[in-house]
Chains A and B, each alone.
Chain A
Amino acid sequence: MVNLNSFLILSAVMFAIGLFGALSKRNAVAILMSIEIMLNAVNITMVAFASAFIGKSDAAGVAVGSRLTGQIFAIFIITVAAAEAAVALAIIIGIYRRISTVDVGHINLMKW
């Protein structure tokens, strides 16, 4: 049986894999890709919750399920992720142009 928990567990595993990549990869582009995996994992939970709530009402009788909060959230996340990807890649290219590397092990400007 595939209930809500199945999706949540899938999402948690994907998130952890993406996080591992984000924390351990040296290539900045690879880190970006890992972050995209994390965002997708979150999106899956969002949509899964939305599906689980369809047809449900809250204590006051408002049909919250019909508002599809999870799906709307997913859409916004995708929007933001697209923007983030564009800006992040621009930053990566900018850094590459400046110091000829995208290895985050060589980028420690945050010290100052």
Chain B
Amino acid sequence: MPFDLASIVFYFIAIVLVGASLAVVLMRNIVHAALALALVFGAAAGVYVLLNAEFIAIVQILIYAGAVTVLVLFSIMLTQGAATRAGSPFSGQWWLAGLICVILCAGVIYAAASSQMALTTAGGSVNLASAPAQDGGSPVKIGQLLYSPFNYSYVLPFEIASVLLLVAIVGAIVIAREE
């Protein structure tokens, strides 16, 4: 069945994602671009829901659509003088960047399409969007995997990540602070 509901939803979200991403990159007004970025984050959350990863989707909304967007808007506000200045938003090497990106994109798509692994082993033929829900994306399962001291878990990387966050917070404050 090529066109079940899940597929239709997927393609819709995909079009929104690509369009919003293009808008972020191409729009001249930086504030509009930031709003398009929020749309990208929201649509990406939709992709996660489609993949039965509810926890990730919620985190995506909270952190990206919420925090990061606000952060970006704040920095736009704080650097307003520069944001509104006239002239092309692109640098002189945009054509080179475009060439690199197009070839890279084509290469990755080709590799993904012809990859034996993607096609056979990992259920390449399975319709992921409409696969039966397992407990893979549930907060309970993720929580066990992140924190459990007894079972197989990612406790240590998690703790390291918390230290990284702390360092980032301190670093950000030190860098941005006025002398």
Name A's B-contacting residues (CB within 8 A). 1-10, 12-21, 23-30, 32-34, 36-37, 40, 43-44, 47-56, 65-68, 71-72, 74-76, 78-87, 89-94, 96-97, 100-105
Q: 5 closest A-B pairs (Cβ-Cβ)?
A: A23-B97, A83-B168, A16-B105, A21-B25, A90-B176
Contacts of A80 in B (CB 8 A): 161, 164
Contact across chains for A81 and B165 when beta carbons are under 8 A apart: no
Q: Are B112 and A68 in contact (CB under 8 A)?
A: no
Q: Which of A47, A84, A85, A101 has the most CB of B within 10 A?
A: A47
The reply to whether B24 and A34 contact each other, CB–CB distance below 8 Å, is yes
Task: Tally B residues with Cβ within 8 Å of A.
Answer: 98
List chain A residues, Cβ under 8 A from B81.
Answer: 100
CA distance A80 to B53 in the complex (A): 19
Which residues of B does A touch, CB under 8 Å?
1-2, 6-7, 10, 14, 17-18, 21-22, 24-25, 30, 33-34, 37, 40-41, 44, 47-48, 51-53, 55-56, 59-60, 63-64, 67-68, 71-72, 74-76, 78-79, 81-83, 85, 87-94, 96-98, 100-102, 104-105, 108-109, 112-113, 118-119, 121-131, 134, 136-137, 141-142, 145-146, 152, 154, 157, 161, 164-165, 167-169, 171-173, 175-176, 178
B82 & A103 in contact (Cβ 8 Å cutoff): yes
